[in-house]
Amino acid sequence: MSEPRINDRIRVPEVRLVGPGGEQVGVVRVEDALRLAQEADLDLVEVAPDARPPVAKLMDYGKFKYESAQKAREARRNQANTSLKEIRFRLKIDPHDYATKKGHVVRFLEGGDKVKVMIMFRGREQSRPEMGMRLLQRLAEDVSDLGSIESSPRLDGRNMTMVIGPHKKKQGGAKSEQRRTRERKEAEAAEAQQSEQSVEQAETTPVEQTEQEA
């Protein structure tokens, strides 16, 4: 993707100007837009070159490029850390096999991966898609504490598929809450211990003074 035209590289008679806060200034001559940018110590950036007239915005282009690069880097990192796993179910699955495959789904979600769940229909099973829907919904409910449906169940030929994604930052939030609870309990225990020591000192002091007087 090519970089947008900025400042003197914008070679059009007029632009539809947008202020730095997103406010609509209106259609102005490009010379006036450049003057406003210079007065505000900002750049004039062409954000919609195909519009008529082109749309330009007043902004700090260097800061904009830096923040855009940071967002792109974070998106690539998240994409690299998340993969799509696939697991297949038969429509007539016995309880043991269901528990085993559900365990795989749980493990994938706990690892931060998305899971594509596929039900394969055989023969006359294709006439009972509602059974496949119920099975997928049952699975989604069984793992709802770890993930949620990102792509609803849909029929694709002889298969029905659904995608479940892990909850975002749920585990980290739980850990933070647990840490706050633990710190609060430790503080309460320390305060209680200090109170007990104060009581013991208050009870001991008169006895010691009486013994010394005797």
CATH of the domain at 159: 3.30.110.10
Nearest partner of 156 among 121, 114, 124, judged by Cα:
121
Angstrom distance (rounded) from CA 93 to CA 125: 13
- pTM for the full model? 0.44
pLDDT at site 170: 44
Domain that holds residue 112: 82-166
The answer to whether residue 28 is domain-embedded is yes
Neighbours of 133 (CB within 10 A): 17
> Which H or E run contains 166?
strand 159-166
100 and 147 part of one domain: yes
> Which H or E run contains 58?
strand 55-59
118 and 50 part of one domain: no
57 and 131 part of one domain: no
153 and 106 part of one domain: yes
Domain tally, the chain: 2
SS (H, E, C) 79-146: HHHCCEEEEEEECCCCHHHHHHHHHHHHHHHHCCCEEEEEEECCHHHHHCHHHHHHHHHHHHHHCCCC
pLDDT at site 82: 64
Q: 53: domain CATH number?
A: 3.10.20.80
For the chain, residues with pLDDT lower than 70 are: 1, 78-82, 169-214
List Cβ neighbours of 167 (8 Å cut-off, separation of 6 or more). Answer: 146, 147, 148
pLDDT digits (tens, 9 = 90+) for 110-144: 988 899 999 989 888 888 889 999 999 999 999 99
Angstrom distance (rounded) from CA 100 to CA 89: 11
Are 98 and 88 spatial neighbours (Cβ–Cβ below 8 Å)? no
pLDDT at site 126: 82
- Cα Rg of the chain, angstroms: 32
User: Using alpha carbons only, what angle is made at residue 123 by residues 118 and 129, rounded to the nearest 5 degrees?
Assistant: 50
List Cβ neighbours of 158 (8 Å cut-off, separation of 6 or more). Answer: 120, 121, 122, 126
pLDDT digits (tens, 9 = 90+) for 80-100: 566 789 999 998 899 999 999
pLDDT at site 14: 95
47 and 112 part of one domain: no
pLDDT at site 116: 94
pLDDT at site 179: 57
Which residue, 166, 182, 207, sits at the end of a domain?
A: 166
Look up tokens 């993707």; give the residue.
1
